[in-house]
Structure 1
Amino acid sequence: MAEIRLVAAEDMADAIRGSDAVFRDAEQISMGAAFPAVFSAALSQSFGAYEDGKLVSFMGLVPAVLRIGSARVPMFSIGSVFTLPDFRGHGYAGDMLQAVKEHVRDSGGALVYVSGNRSLYTRNQCHPFGAVDRYAIGPSHGEQLLQAGAGIVVRELSPTDWLHVHALAAARRVAYEQSVRELAELIASEAYASCLKLRHRTLVATKGGRVVAFAVVAMPDERGSKRTPFAVEWAGDTNALAALFGHTVASYGLPQLDVPVAWHEQELSEALSPVPSAAGRNTGTVHIADAERLFALLAPYWHTSAADDLPRIRTLEDHRYALTAEDGRTFELDSESLVSLLFDPIPSLPAALEARGAMRSQLPVPLPYAGGLNYV
């Protein structure tokens, strides 16, 4: 019987070695360098399964705060999950997940982003969510976007740009909260890009000498990764961003640049409208850790609507919820229907669709793309 607990500071080196053995090869940087918050002894949020004092299974956990309009939502991200080969098949990952869910609730968290979507997660109330259009910018469309950006000059980030870049990032309506230092460290860590053997380049777009947009782009280096380059994170004027993406394709000779645009980034979608796109979901899955807490935290966001009252939620047994809409009607939802009601532009389940019709609060609730700089 394994002991499930927070990973001690002195065991983080073992956690990094185990994670590297499972997820890395000789061409990739260590997981400890790519995901420093996961293995942080200072944060000490990740969980492990121990047999006879030995760390045999690991679940990375990182806290953060999402800004959604005027609301601030404490959340956690799960990733870097592994079990050493000789200890698989004992259910340790499932045991850790239950411990993590309790820890998140005790810590004041309301949501959990999970980088995976396998049955371990989906049978434990972690569900696909949201909508993302993935734009595929090729050379011809890159030139078109570049030509449309009259007066926009694109260059690589310089040391004097950090405060300007952070101001743009902080002005986003929907985003992770990031300090100047955290933003710089997340760019340097290359978390998701390193999984695909790509490297970050940070570009800024200026107009009249003023920084009006920036983007972090994952591109191949001398290792010659065959993975398609993609935009990791961005902020600023949407027309300048479109020109920046066009410049990236043209100047770096990329056959294609993928840009995943969440449903709520409508101005950027319009700026990229000449580019072909494919509809998809947000990355991974999401778990509502505490529905009552989430609804209370969303009150500042919902107060921007015309509704006088707010919807109410009550947790029932067996991961079910009683939702009372503003018109007084009550709906019983399971966890998947609640996720769809809150976060899908068009609810995918009948119960969620029916409840949406009774809601006057602003729905869906926008969430940041989970594959950006804060990816775990």
Structure 2
Amino acid sequence: MSRIEGPRGTREEEFKKVMKLIDSVFRGEGFPSPSKQELYSILLNRDNLENMRIILVDGEPVAHLGIHEGELVIYGHRMKVGSIGSVCTHPDHRGRGYATALLRDAIRKLNEDGVDVMLVSGDRGLYRRAGCAPASKMYAFSIGKAELEQFRDPGIELVPYREEHIKRMIEIYEREPVRFHRKLEEFRRMLISGSDRNVGAETFVVLQRGELLGYLSVQPPVEPGVSYLVEYAGSRWAAVGAMGYIFDIYGIDELRLVVPFHDREMIHLLRIRGLEGVPVEMPGYTVKVINFVGLMERLRPYMEERLGRIARLLGFRCEGERYLIRLGREELAVEGDADLVRLIFGSAEGSGMIPETGELKVLADLFPIPLVYPGLNYV
């Protein structure tokens, strides 16, 4: 009879074995050489051992789920976010419910830690069954060679970032209206490792006459001739004027990017250059609300900015997986975790759940609450 232990955190002496497990599952032919520890260093590192959740069989780690706890800043208001990634099981131990057990353990831990929202890098049945759903309205854009000259400003330079740029880059990122809270050490780690997907993103600063106006983080081509702009910050017109230079750097034919619905300036600048974005949910991610009532109370000041005094009259409660919002004599009932995610954070087609008449129609001025594509925060 095998001895099964966990889910639990990783111990110091187990770190190398856990990393070997993760690399054996996620690394294969066609991927570059850096290990996942280098690429996802905000998640897989010795400072985060308790959040590297594992199951062991006869003392050997056979399944892993990583958690990174942080904060999302939305127009100055904060909510706690738990990002989930590097979920894997050794091929010899699959089909025994280990990933399900790890995900339940993660949800329990996040709830105990006071986390409001879980952001999962992935979309599969395992996550859907746990109440995760695709969410947020974003627009997918594609720039091809035919549009290239509209994205190449001769007064702009695009150069690899250097250590002396980091302080200014942080100042620029801090001015983003919707962003992750990043400690200096985390920001530096992300820039060094390049955390997007299985190929590290490279970061460039946007300069005009020596003044640093923004930065672009770009995933080198994985598909032939295609790169992805995974994060941008700072001046939108300067960013747009720098995008054409990415084609020169990588010799690509196409640059793809995703823009959240709230970034109206970037959407406008792309549209006046002839591009039409395709509405999508946040690509590659699913979302789950961990604590509905806690999240709503945490965002009460945000509601006041949107709704005024009415915000104090809104009531929130839950009955199992039934979520209720009350205003006066009216009540909106949301059935299930997936619909709750779509109501709060939106979807490509809209939630369709907000009443068009009555007192609760004010919810249209509150939802959806914007999210940002994780970019360098990818885990």
Alignment TM-score, normalising by the size of structure 1: 0.90
2:42 corresponds in structure 1 to 37
2:177 corresponds in structure 1 to 173
Deviation, 1:11, is: 1.6
The 1:167/1:349 distance shift into structure 2, 3 A limit, reads: closer
The 1:10/1:41 distance shift into structure 2, 3 A limit, reads: same
2:237 corresponds in structure 1 to 239
Instruction: Note the residue ranges of structure 1 that are not aligned, 5 or more in a row.
Output: none
1:139 corresponds in structure 2 to 145
Deviation, 1:350, is: 4.6
Task: Give me the whole-angstrom Cα distance separating, in 1, the residues matched to 2:268 and 2:350.
Answer: 25
Deviation, 1:90, is: 0.8
Match of 1:316 among 305, 314, 319: 319
Question: Which amino acid is the alignment partner of residue 31 of structure 1?
Answer: K
Task: Give me the whole-angstrom Cα distance separating, in 2, the residues matched to 1:6 and 1:314.
Answer: 32
1:248 corresponds in structure 2 to 246
Q: Greater shift after overlay, 61-70 or 34-43?
A: 34-43
Task: Give me the whole-angstrom Cα distance separating, in 2, the residues matched to 1:339 and 1:249.
Answer: 37
Match of 1:128 among 134, 145, 148: 134
Whether the aligned pair in 2 keeps the contact of 1:204 and 1:244 (CA below 8 Å) is no
**SS of the residue 1:364 aligns to:** coil
Question: Which amino acid is the alignment partner of residue 300 of structure 1?
Answer: P
The 1:272/1:10 distance shift into structure 2, 3 A limit, reads: same
Whether the aligned pair in 2 keeps the contact of 1:18 and 1:84 (CA below 8 Å) is yes
Alignment of 1:22-33 (within 5 A): 22-25=25-28, 27-33=32-38
Task: Give me the whole-angstrom Cα distance separating, in 1, the residues matched to 2:147 and 2:267.
Answer: 14
Task: Give me the whole-angstrom Cα distance separating, in 1, the residues matched to 2:44 and 2:203.
Answer: 25
1:182 aligns with 2:186: yes
Whether the aligned pair in 2 keeps the contact of 1:72 and 1:297 (CA below 8 Å) is yes
Q: Greater shift after overlay, 355-364 or 224-233?
A: 355-364
1:15 corresponds in structure 2 to 18
Deviation, 1:262, is: 1.1
Whether the aligned pair in 1 keeps the contact of 2:225 and 2:252 (CA below 8 Å) is no
Q: For each residue in 1:199-229, what CA deviation from the matched residue of structure 2 results, as whole angstroms up to 9, or x when unmatched?
A: 4332222234321111111114xxx863721
Number of matched pairs: 365
Instruction: Note the residue ranges of structure 2 that are not aligned, 5 or more in a row.
Output: none
Deviation, 1:132, is: 1.8
The 1:96/1:248 distance shift into structure 2, 3 A limit, reads: same
Task: Give me the whole-angstrom Cα distance separating, in 2, the residues matched to 1:360 and 1:350.
Answer: 10
Whether the aligned pair in 2 keeps the contact of 1:15 and 1:39 (CA below 8 Å) is no
Query: RMSD of the alignment, in Å?
Result: 2.2
Q: Greater shift after overlay, 333-342 or 59-68?
A: 333-342
Question: Which amino acid is the alignment partner of residue 24 of structure 2?
Answer: A
Q: Percentage identity across aligned positions?
A: 24
Q: Greater shift after overlay, 49-58 or 168-177?
A: 49-58
Deviation, 1:363, is: 2.0
Deviation, 1:138, is: 1.4
Task: Give me the whole-angstrom Cα distance separating, in 1, the residues matched to 2:111 and 2:377.
Answer: 21
1:337 corresponds in structure 2 to 339
